[in-house]
């Protein structure tokens, strides 16, 4: 029988012929998070695929729902996270039904859990294989000489897949069979040299974009150019902070959802885990909206192409999620959507995030017992969306008027009545404009947004 294959040995194979690193642990972890973001949003962002596999340690490294839904995974996780069955059972989820589900629960991505051993170490590892893309990421090296490793060459991948097959066969033969079937189902793997060429420049650009620079100089007074430079620094810092918040929250949510697949948890535990999942999702979306607004302010990109979007259907699909969100504050949500409405021109993914942010903004100051109504009606060549709030009494409405927000810059404002951060009016209007919407104020307790109707295509 062959000797035991540790994950450390697999990482050492990845590090073969790679120079030693020169960074500390903190910098290495930033490189790791940046690499995960670059891989999932830049390298794989424009790639169309329907199948593939991924293997990770010591936690699930993937967090983008569109990837989790399509790929089959295996995760080596510490025993301290708990197991579903007896210690001899290698899988975290029940046999044949492992998985993660994103917020809409429209589809389920599967991954199986395997035991992480002491000799495996705790350095993160991710290996992703699709017919067109093969990428392996890992952190390696001694303290002070840490290094981020990325390999995509065919020779390394042949060795990695052999070592992984041996490792899984040693501890979970049935899963080894599943891995072999999944690899065989991919067919011939096409080596993509382009990934090696674009990954490091993309990662460098990502890190440069989220890492604010400090320039020490003495000026008698601030020039316009200096003020603009200072504003740019604030926006890049804001982007960095939102990235640092969202990424760990996404990992926490992934772990929570894997635990929720278990069948032996007490109801009170399931309830608490579900609450944590909802809070994580709400904050991920909230900071994602802030990131979009900051990016729009800082880079001023060209207008993104808008597509036909069924706004009425979107509102109906999101009603359960939003009802749960505002329900935690004791607020009721009502929908009033006219039938047979035409589509509008917008960006569905970003619009969903934007509308969720508006609902959050308009319910933060409401007391329990208040209500929120979304009304969608045709208005000539546009659709009119009203977001109306009804407070429990007149005093609540008055409080909303007499406590104005304090702007903290071009993107964020602070609400003194709730202590929460939210987008400024200007950032909200600009972000909505990039989505095809035009916002108007209706006074206390409501806003109106107009969306252009998409022309029918024959």
- Domain residue ranges in the chain: 7-211, 224-301, 307-452
What pLDDT is stored for residue 89 in this prediction? 29
C-alpha span between 178 and 56 (Å, rounded): 16
What pLDDT is stored for residue 258 in this prediction? 79
C-alpha span between 88 and 337 (Å, rounded): 54
Dihedral sign, Cα of residue 195, residue 35, residue 411, residue 246: positive
Provide Rg for the chain, Cα atoms.
Answer: 25
CATH class of the structural domain 307-452:
alpha beta
Average pLDDT, the chain: 77
Angle 71-262-80 (CA atoms, 0-180°, nearest 5)? 90
What pLDDT is stored for residue 392 in this prediction? 74
What pLDDT is stored for residue 181 in this prediction? 92
Reported as a single tens digit per residue, the pLDDT across 350-359 is: 888 888 888 8
**Mean pLDDT, range 29-33, rounded to an integer:** 83
Q: What is the DSSP letter of 146?
A: B
Task: Map residue 392 onto helix, strand or coil.
Answer: coil
**Mean pLDDT, range 90-106, rounded to an integer:** 33
**Mean pLDDT, range 232-237, rounded to an integer:** 61
What pLDDT is stored for residue 122 in this prediction? 85
Band (306; pLDDT cuts 50, 70, 90): confident
Q: Is 133:150 a contact under the CB 8 Å cutoff?
A: no
Q: What percent of the chain clears pLDDT 70, i.e. is strictly above it?
A: 76
Contacts of 45 (CB under 8 A, 6+ apart): none
Average the pLDDT over each of 31-45, 52-66, 362-376, 442-456 and give the range with the smallest value: 442-456
């Amino acid at each position: 029988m062959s000797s035991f294959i540790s994950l450390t040995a697999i990482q050492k194979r990845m590090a073969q012929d790679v120079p030693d690193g020169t960074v500390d642990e903190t910098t290495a972890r930033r490189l790791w998070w940046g690499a995960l973001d670059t891989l999932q949003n830049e390298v794989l962002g424009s790639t169309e695929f329907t199948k593939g596999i991924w293997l990770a340690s010591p936690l699930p490294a993937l967090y983008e729902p569109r990837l989790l839904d399509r790929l089959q995974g295996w995760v080596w996780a510490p025993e301290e996270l708990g197991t579903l069955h007896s210690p001899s059972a290698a899988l975290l989820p029940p046999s044949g039904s492992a998985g993660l589900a994103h917020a809409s629960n429209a589809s389920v991505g599967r991954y199986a859990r395997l035991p992480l051993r002491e000799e495996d170490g705790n350095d993160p590892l991710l290996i992703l294989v699709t017919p067109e893309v093969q990428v392996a990421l890992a952190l390696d090296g001694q303290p002070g000489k840490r290094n981020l490793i990325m390999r995509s060459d065919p020779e390394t991948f042949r060795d990695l897949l052999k070592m992984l097959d041996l490792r899984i066969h040693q501890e979970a033969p049935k899963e080894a069979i599943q891995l072999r079937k999944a690899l065989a189902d991919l067919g011939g793997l096409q080596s993509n040299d382009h990934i090696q060429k674009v990954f490091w420049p993309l990662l460098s650009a990502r890190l440069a974009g989220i890492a604010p620079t400090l320039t020490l100089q003495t000026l008698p007074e601030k020039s316009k150019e200096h003020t603009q430079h200072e504003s740019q620094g604030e926006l890049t810092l804001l982007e960095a902070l939102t990235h640092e918040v969202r990424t760990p929250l996404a990992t926490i949510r992934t772990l929570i959802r894997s635990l929720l697949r278990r069948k032996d948890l007490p109801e009170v535990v399931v309830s608490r885990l579900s609450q944590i999942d909802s809070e994580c999702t709400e904050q991920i979306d909230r900071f994602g909206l802030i990131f979009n607004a900051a990016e729009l302010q800082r880079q001023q990109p060209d207008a993104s192409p808008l597509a036909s979007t069924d706004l009425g259907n979107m509102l109906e699909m999101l009603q359960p999620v939003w009802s749960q969100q505002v329900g935690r504050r004791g607020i009721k949500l009502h929908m009033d959507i006219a039938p047979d409405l035409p589509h509008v021109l917008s960006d569905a993914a970003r619009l969903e995030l934007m509308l969720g942010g508006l609902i959050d903004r308009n319910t933060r100051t409401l007391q329990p017992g208040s209500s929120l109504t979304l009304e969608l009606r045709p208005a000539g060549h546009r659709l009119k969306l009203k977001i109306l709030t009804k407070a429990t009494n007149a005093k609540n409405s008055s409080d909303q008027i007499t406590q104005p927000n304090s702007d903290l810059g071009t993107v964020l404002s602070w609400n003194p009545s709730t202590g929460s951060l939210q987008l400024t009016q200007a950032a909200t209007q600009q972000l909505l404009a990039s989505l095809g919407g035009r916002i108007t104020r209706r006074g206390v307790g409501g806003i109106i947004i107009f969306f252009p109707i998409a022309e029918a295509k024959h």
